[in-house]
């Protein structure tokens, strides 16, 4: 605290050109944190506040599943104090990168080791004839209560790395967990009134944890948990049939990818296209507009209320 006051006093008397140098010096007190996906970035900056220098490895607008780190990203991870990633299913490249690192002080945090992950078979499907989904669903953050677990992990890692600010991290974490809890209650209440309880999604399905938490069904023409495999035409026609059966006039698409499949469904059914944001990453515009995990989730809830209707 003393040092910060002194720095401020000195800065008042020196030219602006020196300001940057002074600011950099102060920054050495911060823990350096590198994260892989937007929700982890957002949670880390919420908890770390002024004591953490948090960065996101995904450049704005880049689709997360097809991302491969460049050599400069690996250097950045190697120079950090803490590297937080979502795990093997989300970042198949992570283990290769980790093997190549040389910083023995770096703390590695694989969130998938700390949250209860869903396997493909845990998801309920309307039809069982198309069961080629396999593996672990990485999208744990779409359920606010599973997200809260990730927040608790980040809090304890920060406290271990920087015990001097234990109280600060704990307070930020408690406040943020309270907001996640509020979000959860808000969703729970809204979902109870949904007229239709199936989410029809024209992108790769990232809302398995969300659907699981709130007792909703979901259908996506994509197989597996990434947008890399194009859906079969017959899966698309099945979704079109379901749209008609449920009399839905909204079809959802995912973020940061041309919504080709969702558009086909919209054209065929006359439905409106709406973004249901999977939050893996955000666009430059969204970043500049200051979107957060909480704001994106609230937007998603409004889109679901709009698309699935309410009984009232
Ligand atoms: Zn995904």
Residues 157 and 52 in one domain: yes
- 254 alpha carbon – ligand 1 mean position (Å): 9
Domain-embedded: residue 40: yes
Q: Are residues 64 and 85 in the same domain?
A: yes
Same domain, 157 and 198: no
Looking at residue 227, what is its pLDDT?
86
Of 124, 157, 179, which residue constitutes the final position of a domain? Answer: 179
- Of the three residues 156, 179, 202, the one that is the final residue of a domain is 179
In angstroms, the CA 26 to CA 284 distance is 28
- Predicted local distance difference test score (pLDDT) of residue 15: 41
Interval 114-160: pLDDT, tens: 999 998 765 544 444 444 445 899 999 999 999 999 999 999 999 99
Claim to verify: residue 198 and residue 166 sit in the same structural domain: no
Cα-to-centroid distance, 296 and ligand 1 (Å): 15
DSSP 271: P
Provide the greatest CA pair distance for the chain. Answer: 74
Kindly state whether residues 57 and 149 are assigned to the same domain. yes
* Number of domains into which the chain is organized: 2
Which pLDDT value is given to residue 280?
A: 97
Beta strand extents in 163-208 (DSSP E only): 198-200
Q: Are residues 48 and 162 in the same domain?
A: yes
Residues 163 and 237 occupy one common structural domain: no
CATH number where 291 lies? 3.40.50.1980
Q: Are 136 and 245 found together in one domain?
A: no
Within a domain: residue 119?
Answer: yes
Domain assignment of residue 256, yes or no: yes
* Distance of alpha carbon 280 from alpha carbon 89, whole angstroms: 13
* Residues 163 and 196 both lie in one domain: no
| Distance (Å) from CA 49 to ligand 1 centroid | 27
Q: Look at residues 106, 150, 101, 127 and name the one whose alpha carbon lies nearest to residue 220.
A: 127
**9 within some domain:** no
Is residue 5 very low, low, confident or very high in pLDDT (cuts 50, 70, 90)?
A: very low
- Burial class of residue 108 (count of CB atoms within 10 Å of its CB; 0-12, 13-18, 19+): middle
Do 161 and 210 sit in the same domain of this protein?
no
* Tokens found for residue 35: 């994260």
Q: What angle do CA 308, 39, 203 make, to 5 degrees?
A: 40
Instruction: Give the tens place of pLDDT for each residue, 193-231.
Output: 999 999 999 998 899 999 999 999 988 998 888 888 789
Q: Quick check: is 8 in a domain?
A: no
Please report the pLDDT score of residue 69 as a whole number.
Answer: 96
* Cα(38) to centroid(ligand 1), Å: 12
Under DSSP, the state recorded for 230 is P
Residues 163 and 199 in one domain: no
Q: How far is the CA of 83 from the centre of ligand 1 (A)?
A: 20
Range(s) of the domain holding residue 231:
192-308
* Residue at 135 is within a domain: yes
Domain finish residue from 112, 144, 179:
179
Instruction: Tell how far the Cα of 118 is from the centroid of ligand 1, in angstroms.
Output: 14
- Is 76 a domain residue? yes
Q: Are residues 206 and 174 in the same domain?
A: no
Within-domain flag for 3? no
Instruction: Say if pTM beats, i.e. exceeds, 0.95.
Output: no
């Amino acid at each position: 605290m003393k040092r910060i006051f002194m720095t401020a006093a000195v800065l008042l008397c020196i030219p602006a050109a020196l300001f940057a140098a002074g600011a950099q010096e102060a920054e050495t007190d911060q823990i350096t944190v590198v994260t892989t996906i937007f929700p982890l970035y957002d949670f880390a900056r919420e908890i770390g506040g002024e004591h953490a220098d948090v960065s996101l490895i995904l450049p704005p607008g880049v689709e997360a599943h097809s991302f491969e780190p460049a050599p400069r990203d690996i250097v950045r991870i190697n120079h950090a104090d803490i590297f937080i990633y979502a795990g093997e299913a989300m970042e198949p490249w992570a283990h290769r990168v980790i093997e190549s690192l040389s910083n023995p002080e770096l703390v590695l945090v694989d969130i998938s080791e700390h949250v209860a992950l869903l396997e493909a078979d845990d998801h309920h499907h309307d039809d069982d004839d198309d069961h080629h989904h396999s593996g672990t669903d990485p999208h744990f953050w779409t359920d606010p209560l599973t997200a809260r677990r990730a927040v608790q992990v980040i809090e304890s890692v920060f406290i271990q790395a920087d015990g001097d600010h234990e109280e600060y991290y704990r307070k930020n974490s408690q406040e943020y967990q309270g907001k996640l809890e509020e979000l959860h209650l808000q969703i729970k209440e809204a979902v109870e009134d949904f007229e239709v309880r199936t989410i029809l999604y024209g992108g790769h399905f990232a809302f398995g944890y969300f659907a699981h938490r709130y007792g909703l069904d979901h259908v996506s023409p994509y197989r597996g948990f990434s947008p890399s495999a194009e859906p079969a035409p017959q899966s698309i026609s099945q979704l079109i049939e379901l749209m008609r059966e449920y009399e839905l006039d909204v079809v959802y698409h995912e973020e940061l990818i041309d919504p080709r499949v969702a558009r086909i469904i919209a054209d065929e059914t006359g439905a409106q296209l709406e973004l249901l944001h999977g939050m893996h990453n955000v666009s430059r515009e969204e970043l500049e507009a200051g979107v957060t995990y909480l704001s994106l989730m609230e937007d998603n809830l409004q889109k679901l209320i709009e698309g699935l209707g309410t009984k009232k």
